[in-house]
Structure 1
């Protein structure tokens, strides 16, 4: 993940949020509790290609805050393979909605190529009961899976 993302430190604690999510680290602070995250990996010939972090809430909503493809494997459709498989499995589990924070530079990719849409404020308000991970400057996107 660090090959694809700059380290993202929490301002107050100095903890690396990417590492906390990948290792599903627990905290007493709700906003820093990353318990329940899973990391899905796509490999090719024992080489790590793409990775995504995922957390499911009550089988109705799942969040996927970090998705990355290694530079040498980009533009081969590998992220598509990983996300398609995750979506199929989430739908089989009964998950209705997949949410992710998109950088402005990747927003068109997520909306045009992957079928996500910008989440309206009213929709976000419905999800306040969940501690969804977001990053400053990102656009929250959603995709209905059913």
Structure 2
């Protein structure tokens, strides 16, 4: 059975190319292309892909053992020029380490299944990107 939960944010322009996003809990994130020390929108998409996948992998592995290293690097090729701008070759690379011992072995043994589950079923962000879900831009 399909379950649907509405998700939304609001975005306010602070200055040219500088925006503040807010969620319903009141958290704020400043970003843009015309500012220093912030993420661009493209980088935020990579953060969302890495973060969503990392959450899923973390839940499936840290039940067995707390990781001693858990780093994810997300990268992509930004293609533009005469063609519409798009990202290609999106990769989230996980660098995980667990302590020696039986619990660490159990966590390491779950990594492959956790990555597969995140990719195939549980990461909403990467699943949406791969599905090519239409995005509608409209004026209120």
Q: Shared topology, TM-score over 0.5? A: no
- Which has the larger helix fraction? 2
Larger Rg: 2
TM-score, reference length from structure 1: 0.30
